[in-house]
Amino acid sequence: MEDTNYKTLLGVLIKGMSEDYDGSKSVTHHELRLVVGATPPILISLGFTQLPLTIDGRVIDKAHFDHGISKGRLERIYSLIASPKAIYKAHLDNPGSVVVTYEMQNSNPIIIPIHPNRQKGRHEFSNVIASVYPKASGGGSVEVRWKKDGLLLWEAPPK
């Protein structure tokens, strides 16, 4: 379930970042961690622990200002993760997963890597959204390549 405060806090954070934005990155905003909601059932079924799903200000800054992910898409991030097109294993040395959404930007799928059970502070653990970006395929579908590499964990039935 999405956290009821997430969209409001996201709007305040983006507004603050854009007012401060002069080409440098505001470390103050980067340190903030927003709770997006509870970890969606699809991720729980793939082995994630039921922890809060969070996103750091640094990730919001990069996604919005560097990768061009709209505020509206960032507001809908919970539903994008909860209803994915596919989920893949992350790199072999990373226990996380990569969510491929149905959303496209400039003909590229929007990718959301998620790291499970990450600690921030002494006693705070969450499943952390590590990034949000359009994945350029570079000469072929990234999904075809990841399937071929045996990284597919789950795929939605064709529509």
Can you give the chain as a three-state secondary structure string?
CECCCHHHHHHHHHHHHHHHCCCCCCHHHHCCEEEEEECCHHHHCCCCCCCEEEEEHHHHHHHHHHCCCCHHHHHCHHHHHHCCCEEEECCCCCCCEEEEEEEEECCEEEEEEEEEEEEECCCEEEEEECCCEECCCCCCCHHHHHHHCCCEEEECCCC
Inform me whether the pLDDT recorded for 51 exceeds 90. yes
Residue of higher predicted confidence among 9 and 21 = 9
Give percent of the chain above pLDDT 70.
91
Q: Is the pLDDT of residue 42 over 80?
A: yes
**Position with higher pLDDT, 123 vs 79:** 79
Ordered by start, the domain boundaries in the chain are 6-155
- Regarding pTM above 0.75, the answer is yes
Task: Provide the pLDDT confidence category of residue 21 given band limits of 50, 70 and 90.
Answer: low
Would you say residue 148 has pLDDT above 70? yes
User: Does pLDDT of 111 surpass 80?
Assistant: yes
pLDDT tens digit sequence for 77-94: 999 999 999 999 987 677
Measure the CA–CA gap between 140 and 143, rounded to whole angstroms.
Answer: 9
Q: What is the mean pLDDT of the chain?
A: 90
